[in-house]
């Protein structure tokens, strides 16, 4: 006669869940936790660099003032100038020295469309 071996037990549904699904759920939770922690540690460099490179980006753009109206009679704010009509002269704000001046349209166009931004101007008014 031979050695008697125990008959294999039939596995229950509960044992299947414990042996097959629980390790996978634990593994998924561990990976999700590591990825979540990694995402929380990411530093947004663009927010910090934008603040550092453009300190006066929040300052208001130059605008037509009562002083401009008194200094440049016959000129109007650029928003009031008729669309499509080219002005002979423009009242511009020079960023280089923070002053306003009257400039020929062609000169202002050339200054704003050359290779450097150092001499750019902001148009605040137009003259006929």
pLDDT at 48: 57
Band of pLDDT at residue 33, cut at 50, 70 and 90: very high
Average pLDDT over every residue of 63-86: 90
Dihedral of alpha carbons 94, 59, 126, 70, sign: negative
Q: pLDDT for 5-31, tens place per residue?
A: 767 777 788 888 888 888 899 999 999
Q: Do residue 76 and residue 123 come from a single domain?
A: yes
Residue 52 lies in a domain: no
The phi, psi pair for 126, rounded to 5°, reads -135, 150
Q: What share of the chain is helix, strand, coil (3-state, %, to 5)?
A: 40, 15, 40
The phi, psi pair for 9, rounded to 5°, reads -80, 140
Q: How many domains does the chain have?
A: 2
Whether 91 shows a pLDDT value over 90: the answer reads yes
Q: Do residue 35 and residue 72 come from a single domain?
A: no
pLDDT at 61: 82
**Which range of residues forms the domain containing residue 88?**
66-127
What average pLDDT does the chain have? 83
Residue 58 lies in a domain: no
Whether 45 shows a pLDDT value over 70: the answer reads no
- pTM of the entire predicted model: 0.52
């Amino acid at each position: 006669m031979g050695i008697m071996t125990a008959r294999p037990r039939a596995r229950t549904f509960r044992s299947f869940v414990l042996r097959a699904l629980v390790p996978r759920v634990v593994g998924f939770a561990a990976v999700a936790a590591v990825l979540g922690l990694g995402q929380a540690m990411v530093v947004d460099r663009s927010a910090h660099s934008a603040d550092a490179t453009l300190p006066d980006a929040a300052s208001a753009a130059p605008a037509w003032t009562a002083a401009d109206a008194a200094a440049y009679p016959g000129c109007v704010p650029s928003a009031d100038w008729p669309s499509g009509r080219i002005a002979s002269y423009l009242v511009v704000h020079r960023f280089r020295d923070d002053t306003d001046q009257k400039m020929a349209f062609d000169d202002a166009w050339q200054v704003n469309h050359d290779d450097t931004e150092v001499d750019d101007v902001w148009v605040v008014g137009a003259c006929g």
